[in-house]
Chains A and B, each alone.
Chain A
Amino acid sequence: MAEVTVIESKIANLGSLVRAFETIGVTVEVSKDPRVICKARRLVLPGVGAFAAGMDELKKNELNFVLGDVVAKGTPLLGICLGMQLLLDSSEENGVTRGLGLIQGKVIKIPSVNTFGVRERKVPHIGWSAIFPSSKKQGWECSSLSTTDSGDFFYFVHSYRVSLANPKDSSAECDYSGVAITAALSKNNITGLQFHPERSGPKGLEILRAFARSDSID
């Protein structure tokens, strides 16, 4: 059985993620079959694009329910970019859409203007940002970041950010022109990355390697 199963979605560009795992010697399969996903050793939920479209893709195969079950049973789950945002309760992107509800909190727009209506930053946030451990914690408290140094740069492309109900679920943050962005979250066997490890050079590949070596349930 593959070490990592990537959840197939029409709206995600899976090629680079699969190639990244292959490059670091991790066996990887792509599937949207609930039976395969139930048995997976480790799961990656990728995604780019709109929140509602991402949820629709999951619902098509009832993966919204399946993911709740596999997380409850302890399967490591890594959400990347939109895949991380889908883990939350809801998103305000194009009206309110319910998410998977595996992490408490919501997905909100990155503000482009300040309270006086003056433009402070461009949205989307596209580019490399340095990430740091979330202030209330010592270290990352996230096994997939074990090889990451404070201040390492990763590639982001997003217009929305997560607002966590429990700040302790945040393991890394970055600053984008004055707004704090949750760069990584972790809770039990769930990890979320707002940035793209598969597009973040050698440091990103190291995160994928660490995830592929994390304890699986078998």
Chain B
Amino acid sequence: MRNIRLIARLDVKAPNLVKGVQFEGLRKLGDPNEFAERYYLEGIDEIYYEDIVASLYERNNILEIVAQTTRNIFVPVTVGGGLRTVEDVAAVLRAGADKVAINTGAIKSPEIITEISRRFGSQCMVLSIQAKKNHDDWEAFYDNGRERSGLDVIEWARRGQNLGAGEIILTSVDQEGTGTGLDIDLVRAVTDVVDIPVVASGGLGNPDHLVDVINYGNADAVAIATALHYQQFSLREFREKCLKEHISVRVPPN
């Protein structure tokens, strides 16, 4: 059996949890720790923090938030945003994270993927790809969907795996924050060419979207943000929908 992971994605602009649409028009939602703790108690499978200003201003305010979160939360925590060196990664892991998600840093110097994977293990190295549709294919962007890399997403995913990434978190910039469904073609195009797990992110608005990206996109895990943050749906509703559709998920203790 292979169980699909449900991951709460928390975009952070320290000290607040924020949410935008296509990474724009960020709204402050409150203390990220309170949200993370609620999701943990409701049985979330993993927590994913993205420091969404770190890349722009090259700073790392998220360490404090991670340190506080991981005192009370005992599920895997992934942290991304502004990590460029092995030392940056070591600091985040020391603060309590289990994995790091690297986007800008990997585009600017792909060898960082190999370095992180060798030093901390590939299970720690998550390649974060922000994909924007461009006619019939997708281009990888960085700095929260603002900057073009010129890299084809499918090629970049394959190369990331070869360089040592243990997992890919794939965000559709077009769908991000819209709640209108994930880019299933994008997810399918990537899961078709890599052997490592792919986390689908961006656009998940309801439990039907979750079922679709698993059944048609072959996603291994799904990141949920808006739908949980605004309490449009509970984690339990997502799980129950999966089980009803014969999709295996973890059933947390009551």
Q: Which A residues contact B (CB, under 8 angstroms)?
A: 11, 13, 15-16, 19-20, 23, 48-50, 112, 119, 121-124, 126-130, 152-153, 155, 157-158, 175-177, 196, 198-205
Q: Known contacts A198-B74, A201-B43, A203-B253: does B123 contact A124 (CB below 8 Å)?
A: yes
Q: Is B207 an interface residue (CB 8 A)?
A: no
Quick check: A127 and B123 within 8 Å, CB to CB?
no
Quick check: B2 and A121 within 8 Å, CB to CB?
yes
Closest-by-CB residue of A relative to B2 is A177
Residues of B within 8 A of A126 (CB): 5, 123, 166-167, 197, 220
Main secondary structure of the interface of A (DSSP, over half): mixed
Residues of B within 8 A of A122 (CB): 2, 195-197, 220
Quick check: B96 and A19 within 8 Å, CB to CB?
yes
What is the bound-complex CA distance between A85 and B67, given in angstroms? 29
Quick check: B2 and A199 within 8 Å, CB to CB?
no
Q: What are 6 A-B contacts with C-beta separation under 8 Å?
A: A15-B93, A23-B72, A127-B221, A199-B75, A202-B74, A202-B253
What is the bound-complex CA distance between A153 and B5, given in angstroms? 12
User: Within the complex, which residue of A129, A152, A158, A205 is in contact with B3, where a contact is CB–CB below 8 Å?
Assistant: A129
Within 8 A of A (CB), among B126-185: 166-167
What is the bound-complex CA distance between A205 and B253, given in angstroms? 13
Shortest distance in angstroms between A75's beta carbon and chain B's nearest beta carbon? 26
What is the bound-complex CA distance between A126 and B5, given in angstroms? 9
Residues of A within 8 A of B2 (CB): 121-122, 127, 176-177
Quick check: B75 and A201 within 8 Å, CB to CB?
yes
Quick check: B5 and A127 within 8 Å, CB to CB?
yes
B 67-101 to A, binary, CB cutoff 8 A, 1 in contact else 0: 00011101110000000000000000111101000
What is the bound-complex CA distance between A202 and B253, given in angstroms? 8
Closest-by-CB residue of A relative to B221 is A127
Shortest distance in angstroms between B133's beta carbon and chain A's nearest beta carbon? 26
What is the bound-complex CA distance between A127 and B44, given in angstroms? 12
Q: Known contacts A20-B74, A128-B3, A202-B253: does B121 contact A15 (CB below 8 Å)?
A: no
Quick check: A19 and B71 within 8 Å, CB to CB?
yes
Shortest distance in angstroms between B47's beta carbon and chain A's nearest beta carbon? 11
